[in-house]
Amino acid sequence: MQTYLFVLVALLYIGCTFLPSSRRQAISLIVAAAWLLHGGVLWADVVGPEELRVGFSMMLSATLWVSVAAYWLENRNYTLDGLRVLVLPMAALAAVLPAIFPGNMVPLDGKSPVFLWHIVISILAYSTLTIAAFHAVLMVLQESRLHTRPGGAKGGWFGAALDRLPALLTMEKLLFRLIAFGFALLTLTVLSGVVFSEQLFGKAFKWDHKTIFTMLSWALFGLLLAGRKWQGWRGRTALSFTLTGFAILLLAYVGSRFVLEVVLHRVLV
């Protein structure tokens, strides 16, 4: 039953991707309904009695679930219709992943309350920086479109969506607001992982590939914010840092867990 519901969520997301921009109210309502259904099914699948299902598919699905909420809220304050055609197809794919790659159940008995908080904060951090990455992609496309000769600009529904985006300066302010919030959450994730490693994972802190990638991503986002404040970094520099930092962060958990779970068939917490 849950598999059918995951598929229904994906179909709703995909359907909203291709609805005309003029159907703003309908898009908003359908996305909200799909988001609520996605959250409910994901909760039922992940949270069990005294146990928790973990895996790259759950993490990715939860991350895109929060990202859809961020898009929905942002789109109510600004016209960010271009974000819809980037976020919703990815959310549709992420929604069905738990049905294909179920992960494994981890008993919560004996786990510190910090364990759940660490997971929640890390998902929020990844989600915020994911929507920031989508935002950066939109800005790259928007800037490229601005530099295209008027007669050579491509039309179509996606081009029209890009034309309705706020000015690049406004988009840049939104981007740095997202990055600052995501960086704060990522800092909490890193600190909780380092300080409470033994309570979280039952072993002392160690420098593995996941830790190294996460710390590298954290350093890149921190350097970007510092460069913005002290050197006035913006434009292509900011976009390059954002997309590179996000790619490294994606490798830190989702990429490594995909290899371990799907390729090597290892069961890990």
Order of strands, sheet of 51-54, starting from the edge strand that comes earlier in the sequence: 47-48, 51-54, 104-107
pLDDT recorded at residue 52: 76
Does residue 268 fall inside a structural domain?
no
Does residue 132 fall inside a structural domain?
yes
Q: Which domain holds residue 248?
A: 1-263
- Which has more pLDDT, 131 or 251? 131
Question: How buried is 4 (Cβ within 10 angstroms: 0-12 exposed, 13-18 middle, 19+ buried)?
Answer: exposed
Lowest-pLDDT range of 30-44, 59-73, 202-216 = 202-216
80 pLDDT more than 70: yes
5 pLDDT more than 80: yes
Does residue 269 fall inside a structural domain?
no
Domain count, the chain: 1
Alpha-carbon distance 24 to 17, whole Å? 12
Tokens of 219: 């350093």
266 pLDDT more than 70: no
- Which has more pLDDT, 55 or 73? 73
Does residue 18 fall inside a structural domain?
yes
User: What's the mean pLDDT when you consider all of the chain?
Assistant: 81
The model's confidence at residue 156, banded by pLDDT at 50, 70 and 90, is low
260 pLDDT more than 60: no
Question: How buried is 161 (Cβ within 10 angstroms: 0-12 exposed, 13-18 middle, 19+ buried)?
Answer: buried
Residues 6 or more apart in contact with residue 148 via CB below 8 angstroms: 154
User: What share of the chain in percent tops pLDDT 90?
Assistant: 22
